[in-house]
Amino acid sequence: MSWNANRPPRPELTGRIALYALADVFGLSCVAIGASWFVASKPAILANFPNSAAEAVACTAGGVAVMIWAVARILREIAKQGPQLQAKYDAFMAARHPEKMQPAAPTDSEQADSTNR
């Protein structure tokens, strides 16, 4: 994916993130199907499901569980991109806003050298 130098870097859409997003949409659909029964007291989206409050609760709770699982996985995948995103962000800030750049923190070996002098 190309990187536009006029905007801060964003996470890349990977295949795993797309699949987890589809799972999230499935969970949202389950919540909508289950919750629609509570509004109409009968199946409102699908013709024969849910037929009872127990099915509606199970569908809604299952959808919420799938959504939480999918969002956690999406955040995990985005966190894996952290070092790359930080490097791109540092390059963006250096090019667009050099006055706001923080000085680099000394490494452990640089600190050891300065204390040994």
The two structure tokens encoding residue 8 = 């801060």
pLDDT in tens, 36-94: 999 998 998 999 999 999 999 999 999 999 999 999 999 999 999 988 888 888 888 88
User: SS3 for 17?
Assistant: helix
Above 70 in pLDDT, residue 11? yes
> Do the Cβ atoms of 46 and 55 come closer than 8 Å?
no
- pLDDT exceeds cutoff 70 at 105: no
- Predicted local confidence at residue 1, as pLDDT: 47
Q: Comparing 18-22, 33-37, 80-84, which segment has the lowest mean pLDDT?
A: 80-84
Q: Which amino acid is at 90?
A: D
How many Å apart are CA 109 and CA 48, to the nearest integer? 68
What does the block give as tokens for 23? 């799972």
Least confident of 14-23, 62-71, 102-111: 102-111
- Domains of the chain, by residue range, sit at 15-98
Distance CA 7, CA 11 (A): 12
Give the C-alpha separation, 9 to 90, whole Å: 10
Q: For residue 110, what is the DSSP state?
A: H
Residue 56 near residue 38, CB atoms below 8 Å? yes
How far apart (Å, rounded) are the C-alpha atoms in residues 91 and 8? 10
pLDDT at 97: 75
